[in-house]
Structure 1
Amino acid sequence: MKQYLQNDAFFNHKHNEINSWLKKVKGNDERTKAVSIYYLVRDGIKYDPFTLLDGVKSLSSDYCLNNKAAYCIPKASLQIALSRACDIPARLGLADVRNHLSTPKLDELLKNEVFTMHAYVEQFIEGEWVKSTPAFNKELCDLVKIKPLDFDGVNHSLFHQFTTDGKKHMEYLKDHGQYAVMPTAFINQNCELYYPHLKLNFSNIE
């Protein structure tokens, strides 16, 4: 489990703002803390898919804390960093999804209906790996009429399958598994495959 508690450049629990976030974590047991961390990240960082254009630096938990807006991978990175700071083992999950509520602006940018490298988090809570997705903040969900994903630390929280009016929202197409460290080469490979026109750079942070 030690690999899921390590501090590094992507899951950094030594950022100068981390202590102020940790003071907001509620609870005395790991489940309560894990749930508290989830909600802090979900609603404390606005979802902005266009920040992926910032390349490798945008993958890290530091990016969230410096910008207060990010897409799914850095938000997951922050949840992992905070979890590890609380001695809760945590790791990154990556999947390909199809978002039926994508905006015309985002469609024009990506030129692909598949959202590759959609991130989720697994926290090891009371002997079980539990999945959650902190990407979409409540304010955004209310705006597009999607029920925000809740998390209780027991059940997986992954699927925004339908909007509040019954329209299909998101489909998981392929799960690429979980990672103790940021798989930058794999992210590069998939982004080059799906979005070659963007010429994104997700090489390792120096």
Structure 2
Amino acid sequence: MSAVPPAPPEALRATDYLDAEHPEVAAFAARHAGTASSDRERAVSLYFAVRDGLRYDPYGIDLAPDAMRASAVLASGRGFCVTKAVVYAAALRAVGIGARIGFADVRNHISSPRLREAMGTDLFRYHGYTEVWLDGRWIKATPAFNRSLCEKAGTHPLDFDGHSDSIFHAFDTQGRQQMEYVADHGPRWDLPYEEVMAAYRRAYPRMMGVGERALDGDFSAEVGTAPH
């Protein structure tokens, strides 16, 4: 049997945004990886810690560079798809598991009316996900939506078993169209901050015009109000 190739060196290094060596990131990773005996078990445990331990909230998000580092997102206790992917990748690197972050455009058929109005579209540009190096291959994982939010919205929470890709479901629990992948921008070793911000400015001029902060409000209270 041939040996499983190791993760690329770039997938294990701490970076500016995936600050895996930061004490808070290292402590979070050690705490939630626990005593798992394999990389797969550690990766799965960390996935659920990020998915459910950080509240998904696209409102009031600080898009300043310092605020999008994994350590800062952990301190805030909340994030959106990109920053939660950053946290997950950084935590994986902190325990020696190769990781990188990827980006895709997705059409969100269940976004709240207020968020859709502010964005001017239901197309989410540069949605972030994480890729994990397990058994010599990359596996996609999407720790964006916490379980309680999914239950309120009537959507299936995304699970991750360390064997198969975990990407958004096409339909919700009632068979209604939910998420549609439109384009994949591929993986990066670190958050390409300027690239992502430029894409947001082009796509969401209504939201990005003042201070580059997302909307204020209670996103959770709006969940489930989107028309179908």
| TM-score > 0.5 by shorter chain | yes
| Identity over aligned pairs, percent | 35
| Structure 2 gap ranges (5+) | 1-7, 214-228
Partner of 1:102: 111
Are 1:24 and 2:52 matched, yes or no? no
| Structure 1 gap ranges (5+) | none
Partner of 2:183: 174
Paired residue total: 202
Cα distance in 2 for residues equivalent to 1:58 and 1:96: 23
Partner of 1:10: 17
Aligned pairs for 1:92-131 within 5 A: 92-131=101-140
Partner of 2:222: none
The runs of 4+ residues in structure 1 deviating greater than 6 Å are none
Q: Which has the larger radius of gyration?
A: 2
Q: Is the 8 A contact 2:106 2:183 kept in 1?
A: yes
Alignment RMSD, CA only? 1.7
Partner of 2:94: 85
Deviation at 1:53, TM superposition (A): 4.8
Deviation at 1:132, TM superposition (A): 0.7
Cα distance in 2 for residues equivalent to 1:78 and 1:31: 17
Name the stretch that deviates more: 22-31 or 85-94.
22-31
Cα distance in 1 for residues equivalent to 2:101 and 2:110: 24
Q: TM-score, normalised by structure 1?
A: 0.92
Deviation at 1:17, TM superposition (A): 2.4
Name the stretch that deviates more: 41-50 or 62-71.
62-71
Cα distance in 2 for residues equivalent to 1:157 and 1:35: 11
Partner of 1:184: 193
SS in 2 for 1:152: coil
Deviation at 1:108, TM superposition (A): 2.4
